[in-house]
Amino acid sequence: MTAAAHPTAQIATETPAPQRRSASGPVFALALKELRVASRDSLNSKLLFLTSLLLTAGMLSLAWLLQPSGVLMATSLHTAFFCVAFAWMTIGGASLASTAVADERAAGTWDALVLTGVSPRRILLGKSAAAYVRLVASVLYLAPHAALALLFEGDGVSKREVALALACMLALGVPSVALGLALGASSADPRRARTLAVVVSSFAVVAGLAVVGFGLSFPVHRLWPAVPEASPIWLPAALDRVPFGKPYVVALVVGPVAAMVVPALGLFEIAVASLRSHARRRALGLELWTMGAVPLTALMSALPVSLSRSLDAAERWSTAGLTATVLVICLGTLALAGQPVRAPGATRVGPLSPPVTRTALVQLLLAGACVGGLAFVSRRHVMAVAVTNAAAHGRGVVALAAYALVFSAFTVSIVALFGTLTSSRARVRVLGLAFVLGAALLPVAAAAVARHLTSSAGVEALAVASPLYARSLADDAILHAHPQRVARAAWAAICAWGAGALVVLGAALLRAFGLSREAAVVDAERRS
């Protein structure tokens, strides 16, 4: 939603109010107002009660089908309930928060709200607090079902594990509410905002249960055999069964908390930026989030590498850490996309004066420092735990880090170039996301088609252009047929991504400088 469409929002956000109340006053008042309005809808409680009855019937049917084994029955009931509950928290939280701003605009009360002088950040804090309270209240209808697994005697589930799973479920509501705010902050249609939130959060549920739940359970099981393997809700069991110590705190407490808090803060800042109309302040929160999220991700990724005791675990954690760092860099780049090519009121024109190029260069320096630091720590530890051929394994870590760095640099550069080609932030983000997905998927698809047409295993070297397939293809080359061909293709891809990043960044700098100079000439003519 542009500032032209909402002139009162521009006045409220660019002109400070003469008198402001305390920081907690507007937030608390907005939260109470939202809860008061929501309490008038009796349909929500009826739907929740009906959902609770259906869930009871489904879980009892599952228990009846699995009745021969108490342990199997208890574990299955526990897993089924919390998978449903986590999906409920994610989709429900995003749905409730997505209409927080759209409902105000549809009712015609948004302009009156912003004219009170309350900042967009405080408005969103109040509405997110109300959405989270409503989400927790809805969980009360489902909470008694968590005890059904305890009715069947067995060693599969403990009371502490159930309590920890409930705590994890409540904590998951924070990023889900932030996701709903980010998706619905710029929409004026409540139905459209809720539909988008439900669709995106549904994909998030599937990806979370498959990757974070099912996928991570295997390395965690190898690290701690007491944790169940192939379980999508392994974290409560790990918190209950793993002995307390430094690895426990790092991997099971600090890591999950950071994995929820960092995305939640980023999504909240995206929502704040969508409501701000002042160009200088719009991306301030997102810039601060990027400055903190990328180093924090690199640091958290280096900790499990340093705690690994085997070569296989160290290499896998280093790969996962580099992947996570690149992912956060790309997300920060997309979030900051659409920076202006000329700062309002700027009196000096230079290659680094456009905000779009300054942001890109800061991101490149940050990516280089964080990826380089993580690569240094990973290489050092991998070579320390390697029994044989330590230098080769160290070179492998360096190659992966180089790939991660050049791909991050190319992503930052091409998003900056897109920002100089169009003034639409949404269009720049869509183009940037399309590039990331295309770079990840198209080389793998091309390699698969080429292998089908030529029946040659060597054409799989085409897939090294994809950041998703580089590590698995390198592992396959070590074990199987074409190590030299794959190695050459991998380094060729690294050099190509690096050269492309330099060319694209240069084009973005030149175009941004040209547009900024043209804008300066127009401003000078207007003054004269």
Q: For 385-436, write each residue's pLDDT tens digit.
A: 887 777 777 877 888 888 889 999 999 999 988 888 887 777 888 888 899 8
User: 278-315 in b/e burial notation, b at 16+ Cβ within 10 A?
Assistant: ebeebbebbbebbeebbbbbbbbbbbbbebbeebebbb
DSSP string, 207-235: HIIIIIIIIHHHHHHHH-TTSPTT-TTHH
DSSP 144: G
Listed residue (422, 413, 427) closest to 508, CA to CA: 413
Average of pLDDT values for 492-515?
87
Whether residue 368 is contained in a domain is answered as yes
Residue 10 has pLDDT above 50, yes or no: no
Whether residue 266 is contained in a domain is answered as no
Same domain, 196 and 287: no
Please list the alpha-helical segments (H only) found in 4-41: 7-14, 24-38
Whether residue 19 is contained in a domain is answered as no
Containing structural domain, residue 330: 279-528
Average of pLDDT values for 46-58?
69
Residue 52 tokens, joined: 């609770």
> Count of domains in the chain?
2
Last residue of a domain, one of 242, 267, 292: 242
Same domain, 166 and 55: yes
Listed residue (55, 78, 82) closest to 66, CA to CA: 78
Cα-Cα-Cα-Cα dihedral sign, residues 77, 83, 85, 88: negative
Whether residue 383 is contained in a domain is answered as yes
Whether residue 379 is contained in a domain is answered as yes
Amino acid at 465: A
Lowest-pLDDT range of 241-255, 346-360, 501-515? 346-360
Whether residue 268 is contained in a domain is answered as no
Whether residue 3 is contained in a domain is answered as no
Same domain, 329 and 205: no
Give CA–CA dist 264/279, Å, rounded: 23
Give CA–CA dist 352/438, Å, rounded: 30
Residue predicted with more confidence, 261 or 33: 261
Same domain, 331 and 204: no
* Sequence-separated (6 or more) residues with CB below 8 Å from residue 338: 419, 423, 424, 425, 426, 428, 429
Give CA–CA dist 123/126, Å, rounded: 5
Same domain, 218 and 283: no
Residue labelled with tokens 């660019």? 14
Same domain, 320 and 449: yes
Same domain, 351 and 294: yes
Give CA–CA dist 39/58, Å, rounded: 29
In the chain, the percentage of residues whose pLDDT exceeds 70 is 77
pTM above 0.85, yes or no: no
